[in-house]
Amino acid sequence: MSGGFYRAFEDRYRGSRDVISARLAVYLPFVRPLVHEGAAALDLGCGRGEWLELLTQAGFAAEGVDLDEGMLAACRERGLRVVNGDALEALRARPDGSLAVVSAFHLVEHIPFEQVQALIAEALRVLQPGGLLIMETPNPENLVVGTSSFYDDPSHLRPLTPKLLGFAVEFGGFGRHTILRLQEAEHLRDAAGVGLFDVLAGVSPDYSVVAQKAGAPAHLASIDNAFAATHGLDLHDLAQRYQQGQDALRGELIGVREQQTATGLAVQQQLATVDAQIAHVHASTVGLGEEQALLTAAQAGFGERLLECERSQEQADLRLDGLEENVQRLARATDEPVVKRLRTRVLELEASHQHAVDESARLAQHVAWIEGRLTHAESEAAALRHQLGELLLRRGGIKVRLVRMLGSGRRRLLDAARTSRLRQPAYAPVRRVVRGVLRRPALKRVARRLVTHFPRLHTRLMQLMYAPAAAASAAPADIDPLALQMSPRSLSIYRALRAASKPKD
């Protein structure tokens, strides 16, 4: 590569010195127990020297080796001991058991695997008993790293998996090793739920193999805690957490679907109930309309009967007129039996007239009962119409026109009844019957006693018959008790008979 390219590339994409130093501090618990007087450490591919600084600060006699002069210049600027050379050759130049720590950060991905095996073998040779070999490299378990960002560095050859590199140090003769997964996003360490992109890119992007050469138990025990600690996230961890989240979400969806199904069934049942109520109200409305039609027909029939009573009254009046003429012709006669027969006949006619009046009163009472039934039917129809409207609103307003049709038809019927198109023909005969009763004091008294039991009928008759009128004249003081029970016409006939029966002077 051209001069300075790799250092500029590292400065931009690897991170600042402070960031890298903070990341490398994770290894201090491993190396600090190995510090003793004259303890030496060799960093292969030392780069800008961040790890050399930490080793020096920890008390090691640390030296670095690298092929890139730009990187070495950064180390020399900080007074670090570095040499330009091949890492494997520098390691081979060291005597056996001369080093406490051998490190290679992001080096093994730059060399063929045969050289990686050679590096492991040489490190085992030069390390003291209990010494450490640290190799850090990009983690291909992170799918984004393994398929994309690993190849951003043109000097990378191929990624090495944690399983492969761990087996390599074990096969190379090291007593024990551990794998540290590093640099994962902090929010993923304790988060219960992860997304798909977290599975793809959230696995620790780097990892390292820390291998320890067999040695005295005292050397090994001092680092046991560091080896027992776990670090980072692997693909299995994130995939399992993602699957758990999906299973939980799937369970929630199943619960929601079951709830929706139950709600749909409940809504269907409610709709069926509303439909049944609408059908019941509709049937009740139809039945009420039929009853109203029957009541209207009955009212019309009673009107006809009132007309018949009026005609009977007129015929009775004609017969009374004829009888009066006969009485006047016979008034000149002195035959007392004839007078008695005529009087009896007059009483019979009055009884017949009284019967007609009673029948008229009964019919008027029945008319009042029919009007009461119509009023009750109207209130029931209004209640049913209100109930039907509420049900139709709940049903979505589908059948509002039915209520309007029923309401308009019923209003036409009630308007017809109120505007007397049905009752008007009965008013004239009723007036004539009442006038006939009023002309007969005896019938008048009976009628008054009768209508006091029917206030509504009394009010209707008063509205029908009365306008401001003069009071009736008092009866003459010289009329006998029998005359008080007669109508005016019968009284005139009676007086004529009395006058005819008196002896002439």
The answer to whether position 426 is within a domain reads yes
The answer to whether position 242 is within a domain reads no
475 — pLDDT class (breaks 50, 70, 90):
very low
| In a shared domain, residues 142 and 221 | yes
What value does the mean pLDDT take over residues 326-335? 62
pLDDT at 105 over 90: yes
Of these ranges, 2-6, 138-142, 191-195, 342-346, the one predicted with the greatest mean pLDDT is 138-142
Does 501 or 200 have the greater pLDDT score? 200
What value does the mean pLDDT take over residues 470-499? 57
Amino acid at 254: I
pLDDT at 3: 60
State the total domains in the chain.
2
7 — pLDDT class (breaks 50, 70, 90):
low
| In a shared domain, residues 395 and 497 | yes
pLDDT at 477: 42
The answer to whether position 139 is within a domain reads yes
pLDDT at 298 over 50: yes
Q: Give 297-332 as a DSSP string.
A: HHHHHHHHHHHHHHHHHHHHHHHHHHHHHHHHHHTT
Q: Which of the listed residues 233, 253, 287 is the one where a domain comes to its end? A: 233
pLDDT at 126 over 60: yes
| In a shared domain, residues 172 and 69 | yes
The answer to whether position 115 is within a domain reads yes
pLDDT at 469: 41
pLDDT at 450 over 70: yes
Measured in degrees and rounded to the nearest 5, phi and psi for residue 330 equal: -90, 0
pLDDT at 226: 94
479 — pLDDT class (breaks 50, 70, 90):
very low
Residues 6+ apart with CB under 8 A from 52: 43, 46, 62, 63, 64, 75, 80, 81, 82
Q: Which of the listed residues 177, 212, 233 is the one where a domain comes to its end? A: 233
Tell me the per-residue pLDDT of 134-170, one tens digit each, with 9 for 90 and over. 999 999 999 999 888 888 888 899 999 999 999 999 9
The answer to whether position 250 is within a domain reads no
Tell me the per-residue pLDDT of 400-426, one tens digit each, with 9 for 90 and over. 454 454 455 545 544 544 554 444 445
pLDDT at 190: 77
| In a shared domain, residues 199 and 333 | no
CATH classification of the domain holding 14:
3.40.50.150
> Could you tell me the two tokens for 345?
């006949």
Sheet with 176-182: list strands edge to edge: 82-84, 61-66, 40-44, 99-105, 127-138, 206-212, 176-182
Nearest to 209 by CA among 137, 131, 276: 137
| In a shared domain, residues 352 and 479 | yes
Q: Alpha carbon 16 to chain centroid distance? A: 55
| In a shared domain, residues 85 and 197 | yes
Percent of the chain whose predicted confidence (pLDDT) is above 70: 78
Identify the weakest region by mean pLDDT among 65-69, 83-87, 257-261, 310-314. 310-314
465 — pLDDT class (breaks 50, 70, 90):
low
Amino acid at 63: E
pLDDT at 185 over 70: yes
* Rounded Cα gap, residues 496 and 490, in angstroms: 10
pLDDT at 421: 44
399 — pLDDT class (breaks 50, 70, 90):
very low
Does 129 or 278 have the greater pLDDT score? 129
pLDDT at 411: 56
Identify the weakest region by mean pLDDT among 18-22, 55-59, 428-432. 428-432
Tell me the per-residue pLDDT of 354-368, one tens digit each, with 9 for 90 and over. 887 787 678 778 767
Indicate the average pLDDT of the chain. 81
pLDDT at 471: 39
Tell me the per-residue pLDDT of 369-388, one tens digit each, with 9 for 90 and over. 877 877 886 787 678 778 76
Of these ranges, 2-11, 63-72, 145-154, 227-236, the one predicted with the greatest mean pLDDT is 63-72
390 — pLDDT class (breaks 50, 70, 90):
confident
Structural domain for 386, as ranges:
264-467+475-501
| In a shared domain, residues 37 and 131 | yes
The answer to whether position 243 is within a domain reads no
The answer to whether position 485 is within a domain reads yes
The answer to whether position 85 is within a domain reads yes
Tell me the per-residue pLDDT of 335-356, one tens digit each, with 9 for 90 and over. 567 557 767 876 887 787 788 7
* Rounded Cα gap, residues 195 and 176, in angstroms: 35
| In a shared domain, residues 145 and 276 | no
Identify the weakest region by mean pLDDT among 26-40, 144-158, 253-267, 469-483. 469-483
| In a shared domain, residues 286 and 423 | yes
Place of tokens 């006669």: 333
pLDDT at 407: 53
Measured in degrees and rounded to the nearest 5, phi and psi for residue 131 equal: -70, 165
| In a shared domain, residues 309 and 371 | yes
> Could you tell me the two tokens for 285?
């409305």
What value does the mean pLDDT take over residues 459-477? 53
| In a shared domain, residues 388 and 345 | yes
How far is the CA of 128 from the CAs of 39, 81, 492, in angstroms?
Answer: 10, 21, 162
pLDDT at 339: 58
| In a shared domain, residues 303 and 377 | yes
pLDDT at 149: 83
